[in-house]
Amino acid sequence: MDIRIGFGVDVHRLEEGRQFVVGGVVLPSSFGAVGHSDADVLLHAICDGLLGALNLRDIGYHFSDTDPQYKGIDSTILLENVMKLVSEKGYRVSNIDCTVILEKPKVNPHIPEMQTIIARLLKVDDDRISIKATTHEKVDSFGEGKAVKAYAVCLLMNP
């Protein structure tokens, strides 16, 4: 059995008047993340972790922020496409462990829905998707509510 581990991280600036999507869920908020796509920081970190585990470069390589076809795209589509690459290489997801760093709004109430969405996209049970949320204790741009960050560690197996 071949096992691969990948690590992903993503950061987006926050801005008033934008929709805030994290883990495929629209969070209730007057502000949201800025990006070429829907700026889903959590799904982007997972994409990078999966791609990294298989040495397939990063999300920007596959879905360039200069390509108009990805303007405003739903990041669940990006994750579906990354999973196709994972499957084509003969791997499957064993588990994912993620952390979202955000002062507000609170992520914890939305974690079960995020787990269900991500598990469906990755073709695993919900209990294979760990999502944690923390603040940055009001330190730097994350703590001041100017940005959001997510980390993801992905374990892949080739049965």
Domain ranges of the chain: 2-158
Cis before 105? omega within 30: yes
User: pLDDT digits over 132-151, tens only?
Assistant: 999 988 878 887 889 999 99
Which residue intervals of the chain are DSSP H helices? 41-53, 59-62, 75-88, 111-122, 140-143
Q: For residue 24, what pLDDT is reported?
A: 98
User: pLDDT digits over 64-88, tens only?
Assistant: 999 999 999 999 999 999 999 999 9
User: pLDDT digits over 48-66, tens only?
Assistant: 999 999 999 999 999 999 9
The fraction of the chain above a pLDDT of 90, given in percent, is 92
Q: For residue 159, what pLDDT is reported?
A: 78
Q: For residue 94, what pLDDT is reported?
A: 98
What CA–CA distance (Å, rounded) separates 9 from 87?
Answer: 22
pLDDT bucket at 42, cuts 50 / 70 / 90: very high
Predicted TM-score of the model (pTM): 0.96
| CA distance readout (Å), 6 to 15, 17, 67, 96, 112 | 30, 34, 25, 10, 23
Close Cβ partners of 81 (under 8 Å, ≥ 6 residues apart): 62, 63
CATH of domain 2-158: 3.30.1330.50
Mean of per-residue pLDDT scores for the chain: 96
